[in-house]
Amino acid sequence: MQKICIVTDTTAQFPKYKDGWQELVKILPINLGGDKVHQHLAEQIQSSIADYAPNSYFLDGEEQHKLKTFLSGLAYEYQQVFCLLPTKTLFPSFGMVTQTLDQMNLPSVFTIIDTRSLGFGLGWLIQTCADFLSRGVNPGELKRFLHHKIPRIYTLIYLPNLINLSRSNILDPDQAFIGDYLGIHPLVLLENDQIVPYQKARNFKNVVDRVLEYAHEFTRIEYVGLHFGISIGISDRKNLQNRFQIILSQNSLDTQVMSPYLNSVLGDQSICVILIESDSRHEI
């Protein structure tokens, strides 16, 4: 049997109800929030919410050497390496790993996958794939599962201010300023590595209503993960969590404060909802 492992980055947040997956998962040695990850200036100036260029990121010499050493070590320990990485719309890992592997000639097979998700969505995929691998599922079956499942992971994000997207070079600074000046607090969908406008919200109650309206569009929800910016109060978090528990009944629900990097990208008052649609006809 081939030795196989899964690689991801530090932005993954893992559902609490699964266990036994840790030994198959390796974490990229990249500090995404540090000062050693840079973006090419020419592309940084041109980037916007519609044409953001994740591949414009690069690592300095020390971090590049660290990443190459990490990938080389995996190549000589495992025959197959699945790199399950967060959406390249918001995170640089996919571009950096792709660029680095293009510069190397390694003996094992690396499969790099943009999961088009983040946080709990990414963590759920990793845990599920690790469980499949522990049960002897072959790489071909795993790829088919990912091809089918990734489009069934839905991400809805509430952005109470747009300045954080500007600081992260995802939105043009002028667009962010105008949006905040006009009091635009959008809910957006992450679809096919694009940020797509969905609704506007005036206050937190309005946000909760809009989020639940979206969830009611689905008839088979397998899992829900709620991410909260660090400034969202406990009572507001509990309110949304309790409303979801009413409509989900026996479905799995996780809530967590955002990871530091996700919080820096979306903002400390943002909310991110991950919904995973079930479809037993295509499970392994």
- What is residue 53's predicted lDDT score, i.e. its pLDDT? 42
- What is residue 55's predicted lDDT score, i.e. its pLDDT? 45
- What is residue 40's predicted lDDT score, i.e. its pLDDT? 42
- What is residue 33's predicted lDDT score, i.e. its pLDDT? 60
Q: What is the DSSP string of 261-277?
A: HHHHHH-TT-EEEEEEE
Strand ranges (E), 67-216: 80-85, 109-114, 153-158, 186-191, 194-200
Domains of the chain: 4-151 (3.40.50.10170), 152-282 (3.30.1180.10)
Residue ranges of the chain with per-residue pLDDT less than 70: 1, 17-20, 33-58, 162-172, 175-184, 249-251, 280-284
- pLDDT digits 0-9 by tens, 232-258: 999 999 999 998 888 776 658 899 999
Residue 183 CB coordination number (10 Å): 9
